[in-house]
A and B are shown apart, each in its own frame.
Chain A
């Protein structure tokens, strides 16, 4: 009880320390905090019962516990705020994943996500997709054209083996490591963002 929500603070500090990387969920710390909150709540319930009992007897003998009640209550609120900020911070990182890595995450990215967070990612992906297809008549891909296009085709170098890539006109290109290709800009921009291709500028 003397720790004054220090455990909650340590969670918040973790979020601040690595703003672009998802650490494993700190289940133990969360469980400890929940335990602490339960203890605080029980202590408060006990004191409230004490006060109301004293009130009904109209005696002045009851100790003045209002301040300690208030302090415990504020501790509860504070812990809640810390946990909320922690979870919110994690979701922000996961949201960035969607924009950087695309809708399908690799195993090592998923490793540090909880089941709930994975479900959130899928839901977010779906609602982003719905939103993008609702703009205009044919829909707009917001991940496309992050910079004003200067040319229709760009030269790209493949950084990692990707396999077959089917272009919109039906041609199949084999993206093997270290090969270079001349592709339509709109089709390979996402792969560049994901780090599969590198844009070669001369």
Chain B
């Protein structure tokens, strides 16, 4: 509905959108960003496109028909959207059903299953869909507010052995935040312990490498025995 009929505003929105496509490359080499842009996004084809039939695995046709529903990686959906070939739909995680769930209690939602890069994808969608931007932004804030306390609490107090269990429902950014908090907590503990404070430690990389080597040795020994 935001694609207005008159030409000048169409032009304007195109300029605005292409400006956004440029800022996509905040970090060209970032593996996290590549992963985030590969998340599936539902789209509806808005005009018949010749010879793009290979995008739709359920049909053998050469052309992509109008009104076909597809799930494309976000990066491709974005480019096709800029070519006025598809309309981007809101993924399940941002639907009105999810809005209600998040409002009720977002801390129990399994974000990892729903949308592993929830906040980042949300921000991308905000840029792509100006009409829904406000709604998505409110939703992101609501979700974050409801979940932050739990993440904070877990990072400070959860047993290190339970890390996997605790973080299993976190989105990737939340997980990074959790580990940051946990690291600070451990550093503080180490600092409080007077005897450990001035100790020179072996580099983590070396320690991990040793462990791997020992594992490998044990495996070869057990296989020969």
- The finding on whether chains A and B are genuine partners in a shared complex, rather than unrelated, reads yes
- Summed over the interface, the residue pairs from A and B with CB atoms below 8 Å come to a total of 112
Q: Contact check, B198 vs A201: say whether CB atoms are below 8 A apart.
A: yes
The docked-state distance in angstroms from the alpha carbon of A63 to that of B50 is 8
A31 at the interface (CB under 8 A from B): no
Contact A85 B34 (CB under 8 A): yes
Beta-carbon contact of B34 and A9 below 8 Å: yes
A202 at the interface (CB under 8 A from B): yes
Question: Are A12 and B52 neighbours in the complex by a CB distance under 8 Å?
Answer: no
Chain A's closest residue to B172 (CB) is A16
Q: Is B73 at the interface (CB under 8 A from chain A)?
A: yes
Task: Tell me, yes or no, whether A158 is within 8 Å of chain B by CB.
Answer: no
Interface residues in B165-217 (C-beta closer than 8 Å to A): 195-196, 198-210, 212-213
The A-contacting residues of B in range 24-74, CB under 8 angstroms, are 28-32, 34-35, 38, 49-52, 54-55, 57, 72-73
| Residues of A within 8 A of B (CB-CB), count | 47
In whole angstroms, what is the CA distance A67 to B57 when docked? 18
On chain B, the residues within 8 Å of A202 by CB distance are 195
A59 at the binding interface (Cβ < 8 Å): no
Find chain B residues with CB under 8 A from A68 CB.
Answer: 49-52
How would residues 178 to 202 of chain A score, 1 for a CB under 8 Å from any chain B CB and 0 otherwise?
0000000000010011110011011
Are the CB atoms of B76 and A74 closer together than 8 Å?
yes
The CA of A5 and the CA of B198, in the complex, are separated in Å by 49
- A97 and B205 contact, CB distance less than 8 A: yes
For residues 47 through 95 of chain A, which have their beta carbon under 8 Å from a beta carbon of chain B? 63-65, 67-68, 70-71, 74-75, 78, 81-82, 84-85, 88-89
B210 to chain A: which residues have CB within 8 Å? 195
- Is the Cβ of B35 less than 8 Å from the Cβ of A21? no
Taking a contact as CB atoms under 8 Å apart, the answer to whether A70 and B79 are in contact is yes
**Which B residues touch A199, using CB under 8 A?**
199-201
Q: Please, how many angstroms separate the alpha-carbon atoms of A21 and B207 in the complex?
A: 12
Nearest opposing residue in chain A for B57, CB measure: A2
Residues of B within 8 Å of A164, CB to CB, are none
Interface flag for B83 (CB, 8 Å): yes
A12:B35 contact, CB within 8 angstroms? yes
Q: Find out whether the CB atom of B195 lies under 8 angstroms from the CB atom of A192.
A: no
A39 CB-CB contact with B under 8 Å? no
Distance (whole angstroms) from the CB of A202 to the closest CB of chain B: 7
Contact A20 B208 (CB under 8 A): yes
A1 to B56, CA, bound (A): 12
Q: Could you tell me if A21 and B212 are in contact, using CB atoms closer than 8 angstroms?
A: yes
**Contacting pair B75 A74 (CB below 8 A):** yes
Residue B80 at the chain A interface, CB threshold 8 Å: yes
Which residues of chain B come closer than 8 Å to A63, judged between CB atoms? 50-51
- Which listed residue (B28, B72, B200, B204) contacts A84, Cβ 8 A? B28
Pair A192/B200 contact, Cβ less than 8 Å: yes
The complex places the Cα of A199 from the Cα of B212 at a distance, in Å, of 22
Alpha-carbon gap, A101 to B207, bound state (A): 11
Determine the chain A residues whose CB is within 8 A of the CB of B203 once the complex forms. Answer: 99-101, 193-195
A33 within 8 A of B: no
Q: Is A109 an interface residue (CB 8 A)?
A: yes
**Min CB gap A25→B, angstroms:** 16
Whether A9 contacts B199 in the complex (CB less than 8 A), given A63-B51, A68-B49, comes out as no
Of B73, B204, B209, the residue contacting A109 (CB under 8 A) is: B209
Closest to A80 in B: B28
How many angstroms between the C-alpha atoms of A151 and B55 in the bound complex?
67
A86 CB to closest chain B CB, in angstroms?
A: 8
Query: Is B114 at the interface (CB under 8 A from chain A)?
Result: no
Q: Does B90 contact A (CB under 8 A)?
A: no
**Is A16's CB under 8 angstroms from B57's CB?**
no
Judged by a CB distance under 8 angstroms, whether B85 is at the interface is: yes
Chain A residues whose C-beta falls within 8 Å of the C-beta of B76 in the assembled complex: 4, 71, 74-75, 78
Residues of B near any A CB (own CB < 8 A): 28-32, 34-35, 38, 49-52, 54-55, 57, 72-73, 75-76, 79-80, 83, 85, 195-196, 198-210, 212-213
